[in-house]
Each structure stands twice: as structure tokens, then as C-alpha cells.
Amino acid sequence: MRGVLGACDPATCVREAVKRGLGGGTSVGFAGILSIGKAAAGMAAGAIEGLGSLADRTQLCVMGPEEYVAAWRRRDHTLALEGDHPLSTARNQVHAEQVLGWLRQHGPKGEVLVLLSGGASAYLVSPMGRLKREELDEVYAAIRVRGGTIEELNSIRKHCEGMKGGRLAGLARSTRVLVMSDVLGDRLDVISSGPFVADLSTCEDAAAVMRKYGLDRDFPAVLRHVSDAEHETPKRGDQRFARVTHEVLISNATAVRALQDLLREQGIEIQASVQEVRGEPKMIAQDARDVIRALKSGEGMVFGGEPTVDARHAATGARGGPSQEWVLALAKVIEECGVHATAWAFSTDGQDGNSPYAGGWLTSSMAKQARNRGFATEEFREKHDASSFLEEAAGEFFTGPTGVNVNHVACVVRTA
């Protein structure tokens, strides 16, 4: 796990990118750095280091997790703002207005270097018109609990909030955006709800998502808003994007490659690598059944992606998340295949679902011993209480916030 996170270190990746791109200066001058998201502090640190002698007089605005942002308050020329996640808060809304003010103040002076990472959608909360943050949060939470995709969720965000869907483009003389992607396929209009890029989704798409999940009846004001063509987002060809560039530095593929390399260093031969997996953990695990059954001792299978959980029927007090359910589902398949193996999965941001854990791991013997004590993997997975099972099996692990956010990775290794 430490090796995977190290390979995705935002400071290192941004430092090298800044050295490459800003070493010769810019044609319009350099206005400052705007860093937003769960990895905001680390990305900002890399940018400052990469700037070298320019760093001392560089204007910086950084918005991220409180435990990482606090240290930036000691730096001159810095606006350091805390952000809450996964749902927005009143503090987020106030701080988002300050971000917008900073961009309007410094953007016209030259090029702004923007550093985006997962979590920025929740941080830059900016309800349009008469919409209320609390109502939008209810809509977003309902989509999550129903297992909606990030593309679906952000299509609504982009049509309901004023700092998303390309609406921040054009506020600077030029904008260079460096990205840590938490979206499979690295769609720029979906990552952080695409604040600086032309939007590929439409009002019709957002309305369709509302209807798909039965939210049109409970939130008629939101449906009316997203159905109004006046709230359409800017599209390709709009001149505000003429001086905006994007570069994805780190993604889930980075984490998968690192996991493969680390396993090979341990003498494990990788027989299959499955990337951009989506859907319920149970189905992902079942799809891997034939590969898992065919693994020989010392061979493994690696996964990367964004499993989703429909937790509408979760048991009262249930705790867990996609990675933990993934471990339980893989352990069940391993048991059914009759092989001795270890399953492991974790969420790279350090918080899996509504639990305090990053993920978990199970060996064949751990799962069997838990079953002998009356704990069955499928029972706890079905009631979405994976954390309780992993605690019983001593297979949970805790990291706290990691400062990295590139979705989930998992592996199965045959041990005998």
C-alpha cells in the first residue's frame, strides 16, 4: 500500500511537470497557483518546489483537507482554505466564494497554474439561482447510495453549480491545469466537475439522471433547473477555452502499474491485469472467477477501477465501502474455487465508504476461521457491513487521509 501511494505522490509528479512547463516563463506572465482537492497540499508543495527562485513571490490559493492545509497559513502570499468531503458544508460554500474572488483578482495578471484532484467538486460548492446547497447535497447523496456513477453525479453538479462545467475558464489570461485523476478514463469534464474545460454533458443528460434514480418526484425544483436550456454549460468552440490547457499527471493506471511492479519485486507473476472496472464488487469478483481458479502458486491478478455499492438496503449501523466489499467478494470466489490465496483492496484516498478504514485483506484461512465463528463473507457483504467482518477477521487497515485520490486498486495472489 505504501508503495502504491508513493508512486502516486502528487508533490513529485507536479514538481517535475512544473519544471518542464514553466522553466522558460510564459508569454503573458505568471499570476499564481490555484490548488484544489484532496491532494491540494501535496500538489501545491510540488509546484512551489518546481518554481525554484520564483516561489517566494508566487501568489497561492490552496483548498483541501484541513489537516493538510493548516501548514500553508504560515506562508506569505497564500490563501489557505479548508474543505469538507464527501458532502459540501456551509464552510465549503464560503471558501468557494473566496477561491472565485482570488481567481478574479489574480487571473487577469497572467497565467494561472491550476492543480486539480478528487474532492474539488465538493469543495467548490456554488448553487445557481434559487437552488440551495442542502437540497443539492440530498440529490448527490441519493445518487451515491443508489450506486450512481461519477459521470452521472457530476452531470447534475455541472448544471446546478456556477463553478463547474467549464464556467471558470477565461477568468485568467491563460490557464494551465495539471490533474490527478480520480475518474476512470480520465474524462476532463468529469474530473472535479470540469471547472476549466468544455462540458460534454447536457441539460438533457442531467434530467435523465434525475429520472433514472427517481429523484424527479422528490426534487422537482432541481429537475426544473437542469431541464432549463438557459443553464446549459459552455461547449467546445467557446472562446473562453482558447487559452486553457490540461495535462493528466496521475491516475488509477499509475496505481495499477505500481501494484504490478511491487508484486513482481516480491516474485509474483502477474497473470492478468484488469483496469477501469466498474459495478458491484460481487459482479467484478465473479467475472474474475476463471482467472482466479487458474492461478498457480506465486501468481496473481491485479485490478484497478471504481466499484460502486447500492446501499439503499444496508443494515442499520452497517459500515463499509466498495474496497472492503470487494475483498469479501473476492474471498468468496477464492473459497468457491477451492484455492489458497490472499485478496487485498483499498481506496487510495484512505477513506472507503462510511467507514474509517482504507480497505482490507483476507487470506483463505482468515475467511474460513471467521466462517467457523459464524461470520460468512456473503452475509456481511449483502448487508453492506464489510467493516464488521474484517474487524472480526483482523483484516481491516487504517491509513487516515493519504493526500492521494486515484480510485481503488485490488489484487488476488495464489499462495499455495
- Tens-place pLDDT, residues 318-352: 999 999 999 999 999 999 999 999 999 999 999 99
Q: What percent of the chain has pLDDT over 70?
A: 98
Residue 23 has pLDDT above 60, yes or no: no
Angle between helices 133-145 and 220-227 in degrees, nearest 10: 90
- DSSP letters spanning 359-390: EEEEEHHHHHHHHHTT--HHHHHHTT-HHHHH
Taking residue 310's Cβ as centre, other Cβ atoms within 10 Å add up to 13
Superfamily holding 8-126+161-199+234-250: Glycerate kinase, MOFRL-like N-terminal domain (3.40.50.10180)
Angle between helices 386-393 and 322-337 in degrees, nearest 10: 60
Residue 246 has pLDDT above 90, yes or no: yes
- With CA atoms as reference, report the closest residue to 36 among 121, 93, 112: 121
Q: Across-strand partners of 410? A: 303, 345
Q: Which pTM does this prediction carry?
A: 0.89
Q: What is the pLDDT of residue 22?
A: 59
Mean pLDDT throughout 222-228? 97
Q: How far apart are the first and last CA of the chain?
A: 23
Find out whether 401 and 67 touch, Cβ atoms under 8 Å: yes
Dump pLDDT digits (tens) for 271-307: 999 999 999 999 999 999 999 999 999 999 999 999 9
Given strand 30-36, what is the order of strands in its sheet?
78-82, 60-64, 30-36, 111-116, 174-180, 244-250
Mean pLDDT throughout 56-64? 94
Confidence of residue 28 (pLDDT cuts 50, 70, 90): low
Find out whether 249 and 214 touch, Cβ atoms under 8 Å: no
Domain at 253-414, CATH class: alpha beta
Dump pLDDT digits (tens) for 114-154: 999 988 999 999 999 999 999 999 999 999 889 899 999 99
Find out whether 26 and 32 touch, Cβ atoms under 8 Å: no
Q: What is the pLDDT of residue 26?
A: 55
Q: State how far the Cα of 404 lies from the Cα of 370, in Å rounded to an integer.
A: 32
Find out whether 312 and 326 touch, Cβ atoms under 8 Å: no
- DSSP letters spanning 9-77: -HHHHHHHHHHHHHTT--TT-EEEEEEESTTHHHHHHHHHHHHGGGGGG--EEEEE-HHHHGGGGGSTT
Domain limits, CATH 3.40.1480.10, in the chain: 253-414
Side-chain half-sphere exposure of 71, counting CA atoms within 13 A? 7
Mean pLDDT throughout 32-51? 95
Residue 85 has pLDDT above 90, yes or no: no
The C-alpha cell of 38 is what? Answer: 484532496
Q: What is the pLDDT of residue 21?
A: 77
Domain limits, CATH 3.40.50.10180, in the chain: 8-126+161-199+234-250
Report the sign of the C-alpha dihedral through residues 135, 137, 139, 142, in that order: negative
- With CA atoms as reference, report the closest residue to 301 among 291, 287, 311: 291
Mean pLDDT throughout 376-381? 91
List Cβ neighbours of 102 (8 Å cut-off, separation of 6 or more): 34, 59, 61, 79
Radius of gyration of the chain (CA): 22
The C-alpha cell of 376 is what? Answer: 460468512
Side-chain half-sphere exposure of 358, counting CA atoms within 13 A? 24
Least reliable range by pLDDT among 28-37, 97-106, 211-220: 28-37
Residue 87 has pLDDT above 60, yes or no: yes
